[in-house]
Amino acid sequence: MASSLDSSLVRHVAHLARLEVSEEEVARFADQLSSILNYMEQLNELDTAGIQPTAHAVRLTNVFREDQVRPGWDQDRALQNAPARHGEFFKVPKVLDQESA
Amino acid sequence: MAAIDAIFDTASAVRSGRRAAEEVVGECLAAITAADSSLGAFLHVDADRALAQARKVDIVRRQGAILGPLAGVPLAVKDNMCTTFGATTCGSKILNAYHSPYNAHVVEALESAGAILVGKTNLDEFAMGSSTENSAFHTTRNPWDGARVAGGSSGGSAAAVASGMALGALGSDTGGSIRLPASFCGVVGLKPSYGRVSRYGLVAFGSSLDQIGPLTRNVRDAALLLSVISGHDERDSTCVPMPVPDYVAALDRPVQGLRIGISEEYFGEGLDDAVRSAVEGAIEVMCRQGAVPSRSTCHT
């Protein structure tokens, strides 16, 4: 079965990733992404009926710890790489009044 | 190149007082000063910090305290492992000014074993590459032949160890980044099984594949470094809670009956004759001592 990505899906993905793409690029990426998906679909030709699923090489489930209060970093240490700070906070460019997602 | 001391011998010489840590560390720093402007193995060297720590080891020894298994041993770590000294750049100008607020698990482990970190080694940017030509800062050259690459992405670590600028180093391996440069520079490199070594403080490339491992001048040193960095760390949830065997002691076990998988795919077209005969020679040595070769192919 051949997969294909239509141009509206490419535009949606580009929007989610905050990428600006031209109409030409939308067409090109739709082609390229479709051919990648088709390549991966070769896996569907394999008969995996009798094969145990392997999600991960390491057999670990539910790695939890007790929810205990522990000492953390002080604010100066946590903010030491901040390009700009406002008192005890990271200062970042305003993003919320742009086109809403 | 002059003979370079093994980690194992150096650590025991420092523990017994036959050698001062300050002198051992000073030798590596001198090697860096002499050769690194042409090799480019390091992105950052902190000589003052290394010498101060070495002096501390010597003082502790004179006071009669018990020293760790790597006391006074000058080592280097790849610059995608977080250290509170110097920057942690991953070979990228994006992180040019990033100063980690914490140390990676492996850095804590090496330093609590007494090792002296002389600096941070070069890599392909964010570990994505196989030659260490793709660092944003400079290319690392092969110590055996400056016209050749050191391999990558842990090329700085491999070149530093091959040239005696550190007695051992750590690299990280996602798809060959320890094994390739180790092979290119003629040192031992080991990618541990996934989950053996905590990735806490390793800047991720492929989180389900990344592992940190040693680059050393001999197998015994690799076993020693592996035993120090291995083990459970709850800060990496994929790190396995299994006991760490005595890797150094395990080296004395015979290979009699050991089954060695040999995949035909590695011996295909384009394989250099010198490489083929070296690998075949190693298989022969193992088999003469009783190991059993098991040749297989992925094609069915």
Among A58, A65, A78, the residue with its CB nearest the CB of B195 is A58
pLDDT for position B156: 98
Please write the tens of the pLDDT for every residue from B195-251: 999 999 999 999 999 999 999 999 999 999 999 999 999 999 999 999 999 999 999
B237 touching chain A per CB within 8 A: yes
Among A56, A60, A81, the residue with its CB nearest the CB of B98 is A81
Task: Verify whether the Cβ–Cβ distance A78 to B101 is below 8 Å.
Answer: yes
pLDDT for position A65: 87
* Pair B84, B129: CB distance under 8 Å: no
Instruction: Tell which wins on pLDDT, B31 or B2.
Output: B31
> How far does B232 lie from chain A, in Å, by closest CA?
12
A60 neighbourhood in chain B, CB within 8 Å: 195, 237-238, 240
pLDDT for position A62: 87
pLDDT for position B262: 94
Among B101, B195, B234, the residue with its CB nearest the CB of A77 is B101
Answer yes or no: is A37 within a domain.
yes
Task: Verify whether the Cβ–Cβ distance A81 to B97 is below 8 Å.
Answer: yes
Answer yes or no: is A85 within a domain.
no
Q: What is the mean pLDDT of chain A?
A: 87
Task: Verify whether the Cβ–Cβ distance B238 to A60 is below 8 Å.
Answer: yes
Strand-strand pairing, A89-90 and B42-45: unpaired
pLDDT for position B212: 98
Task: Verify whether the Cβ–Cβ distance B208 to A56 is below 8 Å.
Answer: yes
Average pLDDT of span A67-92:
93
pLDDT for position B171: 98
Q: Return the domain boundaries, chain B.
A: 7-250, 259-296
Q: Give backbone dihedrals phi and psi of B55, rounded to 5 degrees, phi first.
A: -60, -35
pLDDT for position A1: 42
Q: What is the domain count for chain A? A: 1
* CA–CA separation, B231 and B6 (whole Å): 24
Answer yes or no: is A89 within a domain.
no
3-state helix, strand, coil in chain A (%, to 5): 35, 5, 60
CATH number (domain holding residue A30): 1.10.20
Domain of residue A16 covers 7-42
pLDDT for position B1: 44
pLDDT exceeds cutoff 90 at A21: yes
Architecture of the domain made up of B7-250: Alpha-Beta Complex (3.90)
B3 touching chain A per CB within 8 A: no
* CA–CA separation, B30 and B37 (whole Å): 12
Residues of A with CB under 8 A from a CB of B: 56-58, 60, 63, 65, 73, 77-78, 80-81
Tokens of A19: 């990428």
Query: How far is CA B186 from each of CA B14, B37, B44, B217, B246, rounded to the nearest angstrom?
Result: 26, 21, 23, 8, 25
Listed in sequence order, the DSSP H helices in chain B are 7-16, 21-39, 47-62, 105-112, 155-162, 179-185, 219-229, 247-250, 273-288
Tell the residue number behind the tokens 């003629």, with chain if given: B186
Among B101, B195, B238, the residue with its CB nearest the CB of A80 is B101
pLDDT exceeds cutoff 90 at B131: yes
> Measured between alpha carbons, how far apart are the two ends of chain B, in Å?
47
- Please give the full DSSP string across B167-189, using - where no structure is assigned: SEEEEEESSSTTHHHHHHHT-EE
Task: Verify whether the Cβ–Cβ distance A65 to B234 is below 8 Å.
Answer: yes
Least confident residue range of B109-123, B147-161, B185-199, B256-270: B256-270
Average pLDDT of span B125-143:
98
Q: ipTM, 2 decimals?
A: 0.70
B85 touching chain A per CB within 8 A: no
A57 neighbourhood in chain B, CB within 8 Å: 194-195, 208
pLDDT exceeds cutoff 50 at B62: yes
* Pair B64, B110: CB distance under 8 Å: no
pLDDT exceeds cutoff 60 at B300: no
Task: Verify whether the Cβ–Cβ distance A57 to B194 is below 8 Å.
Answer: yes
Which residue of chain B has the CA closest to A74?
B101
Mutation target vs A (from B207, B208, B242; most A CBs, 10 A cutoff): B208
Mutation target vs A (from B234, B235, B238; most A CBs, 10 A cutoff): B238
**Percent of all residues in chain B with a pLDDT value above 70, rounded to a whole number:** 98
B94 touching chain A per CB within 8 A: no
Task: Verify whether the Cβ–Cβ distance A57 to B99 is below 8 Å.
Answer: no
Please write the tens of the pLDDT for every residue from A33-77: 999 999 999 888 888 888 888 877 777 888 898 999 999 999 999
Q: What is the set of active-site residues of B?
A: 78, 153, 177
Among B98, B101, B240, the residue with its CB nearest the CB of A60 is B240
**Percent of all residues in chain A with a pLDDT value above 90, rounded to a whole number:** 55
pLDDT exceeds cutoff 70 at A3: no
Strand-strand pairing, B188-189 and B168-173: unpaired
Q: What is the mean pLDDT of chain B?
A: 95
Q: Which residues contact B208 (CB under 8 A, 6 or more apart)?
A: A56, A57, B194, B238
* CA–CA separation, B113 and A3 (whole Å): 55
Answer yes or no: is A34 within a domain.
yes
